[in-house]
């Protein structure tokens, strides 16, 4: 795997993946495709370990002509697909964009990869990989006494966001079975860490606490989610890309399920002379 197209690479998890990849893999070259919507920022791609091995392209994953051009121009042998609309509340207010980006955008990338790798027979199939980054929200929600989600948990999405991600998962899996496209999928739990978008729970609580503002807690704060440090997630994704079985799905979690209220209380107990990165590392 030499030339990797990373979609959504200016976002939270995607940018952390690029930092991780350039640090850990000295031979890979990375092409970043990002539309720079509200959650993506070029600030996330500053201070890269080896910026000469990185190219940024601003564009929409639904633009088939552009994606085809990038695949050919850079001889892409690996796609790491992070690009997605991912905020539940925003999906409730405007679901169409989530369906367009998460479902049709994924379809466009799959078709481009199928044409370049399979139809044009550019690489041997054991030398290419399409990796789709999904979410555990496709499985629905857990009660406190429920076991953790597994790879065989039935899908039960509860929002337009999670439904659109479930749809994209199914399309990726269908391309593996229908066309033998070498794909893998990871479904991850909630991430926290550097470059996190400020409207999310961890950075919002930290920033409000440092500013002496009220801390946002939804309802009674007893909602439970599994939390995973973002660099651990990036390491898991790269391991699946390199070593995972084509056609398989892998759940990635932190085995760490505090309530939202306990997260807020833990952050408040941390010394305020910590850097934000240290707070994010130690808060869960």
The CATH code of the domain that includes 238 is: 3.40.50.720
Residue (of 217, 274, 229, 277) closest to 255 by Cα position: 229
- The Cβ-side half-sphere exposure at 121, using a 13 Å CA radius, reads 0
Q: Count other C-beta atoms under 10 Å from residue 214's C-beta.
A: 8
Q: Could you list the active site residues?
A: 136-137, 161
Contact 205, 270 (CB under 8 A): no
| Whole-number pLDDT of residue 272 | 64
Residues 137 and 217 placed together within one structural domain of the fold? no
Q: Could you tell me the mean pLDDT of each successive run of 10 residues in the chain, 284 residues long?
A: 95 96 96 92 94 96 98 98 85 89 97 98 96 94 80 92 96 98 96 83 79 76 81 97 97 83 82 52 42
Residues 219 and 169 placed together within one structural domain of the fold? no
How far apart (Å, rounded) are the C-alpha atoms in residues 125 and 149? 31
β pairing state of 227-229 and 190-192: parallel
| Whole-number pLDDT of residue 235 | 97
Residues 244 and 174 placed together within one structural domain of the fold? yes
Residues 170 and 74 placed together within one structural domain of the fold? yes
Residues 242 and 145 placed together within one structural domain of the fold? yes
How far apart (Å, rounded) are the C-alpha atoms in residues 239 and 11? 21
Residues 73 and 44 placed together within one structural domain of the fold? yes
Residues 202 and 135 placed together within one structural domain of the fold? no
Residues 219 and 124 placed together within one structural domain of the fold? no
Biggest alpha carbon–alpha carbon distance for the chain: 59
Contact 216, 253 (CB under 8 A): no
Q: State the residue range of the domain holding 161.
A: 3-189+227-253
- The Cβ-side half-sphere exposure at 47, using a 13 Å CA radius, reads 4
How many domains, in total, are found in the chain?
2
Residues 239 and 201 placed together within one structural domain of the fold? no
| Whole-number pLDDT of residue 169 | 98
Question: Nearest 5 degrees, angle CA 231-CA 236-CA 237?
Answer: 95
* pTM score, whole prediction: 0.89
| Whole-number pLDDT of residue 281 | 44
Residues 219 and 168 placed together within one structural domain of the fold? no
Contact 280, 192 (CB under 8 A): yes
Residues 249 and 260 placed together within one structural domain of the fold? no
Residues 260 and 248 placed together within one structural domain of the fold? no
């Amino acid at each position: 795997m030499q030339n990797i197209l990373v979609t959504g690479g200016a976002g939270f998890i995607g940018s952390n993946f690029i930092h991780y990849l350039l640090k850990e893999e000295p031979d890979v070259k990375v092409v970043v495709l990002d539309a720079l919507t509200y959650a993506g920022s070029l600030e996330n791609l500053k201070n890269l370990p080896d910026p000469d091995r990185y190219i940024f392209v601003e564009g929409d994953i639904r633009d088939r002509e552009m994606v085809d051009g990038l695949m050919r121009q850079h001889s892409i042998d690996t796609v790491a697909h992070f690009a997605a609309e991912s905020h539940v509340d925003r999906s409730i207010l405007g679901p169409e964009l989530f369906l367009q980006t998460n479902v049709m955008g994924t379809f466009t990338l799959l078709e481009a990869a199928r044409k370049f790798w399979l139809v044009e027979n550019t690489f041997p199939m054991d030398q290419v990989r399409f990796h789709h980054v999904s979410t555990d929200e496709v499985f629905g929600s857990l009660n406190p006494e429920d076991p953790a989600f597994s790879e065989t948990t039935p899908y039960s999405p509860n929002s337009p966001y999670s439904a659109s991600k479930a749809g994209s998962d199914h399309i990726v899996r269908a391309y593996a079975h229908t066309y033998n496209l070498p794909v893998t999928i990871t479904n991850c739990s909630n991430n926290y860490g550097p470059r996190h978008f400020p409207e999310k729970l961890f950075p919002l609580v930290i920033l409000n606490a440092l500013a002496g503002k009220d801390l946002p807690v939804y309802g009674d704060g007893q909602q439970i989610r599994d939390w995973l440090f973002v660099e651990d997630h990036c390491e898991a994704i790269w391991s699946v890309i390199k070593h995972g079985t084509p056609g398989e799905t892998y759940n990635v979690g932190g085995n760490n399920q505090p309530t939202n209220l306990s997260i807020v209380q833990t952050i408040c107990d941390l010394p305020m002379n910590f850097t934000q990165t240290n707070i994010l590392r130690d808060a869960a």
